[in-house]
Amino acid sequence: MPKLKTHSGAKKRFKLSKNGKVIRGHAFTSHLLNGHGKTPKTKRHARGTVVTDKTNTAAVKRMMPYK
């Protein structure tokens, strides 16, 4: 069986916890963070990380076979 390649986009965006859960960052935080882009509530809730939904967990783990 040949080695599998890790999906390069997935390894930059996701991390696996010790219990095997998939950790991800929030969306829509790349620009327009001050001024009239987003409300303070939106920016506050976008801080930190969150666990990926269980419907996407298997697909993400398949993209990162050796993590």
The pLDDT tens digits along the chain (67 residues) read 899 999 999 999 999 999 999 999 999 998 988 888 899 999 999 999 999 999 999 999 999 999 8
pLDDT at 67: 85
Task: Please tell us whether the domain made up of 8-63 is placed in CATH 4.10.410.60.
Answer: yes
**How far apart, in Å, do the first and last CA atoms of the chain sit?**
18
Given a contact cutoff of 8 angstroms between Cβ atoms, the answer to whether 28 and 38 are in contact is: yes
Q: Model pTM?
A: 0.82
pLDDT at 33: 87
Q: Find, among 4, 17, 13, 15, the residue nearest to 62 by Cα.
A: 4
Domain range summary for the chain, segments of one domain joined by +: 8-63
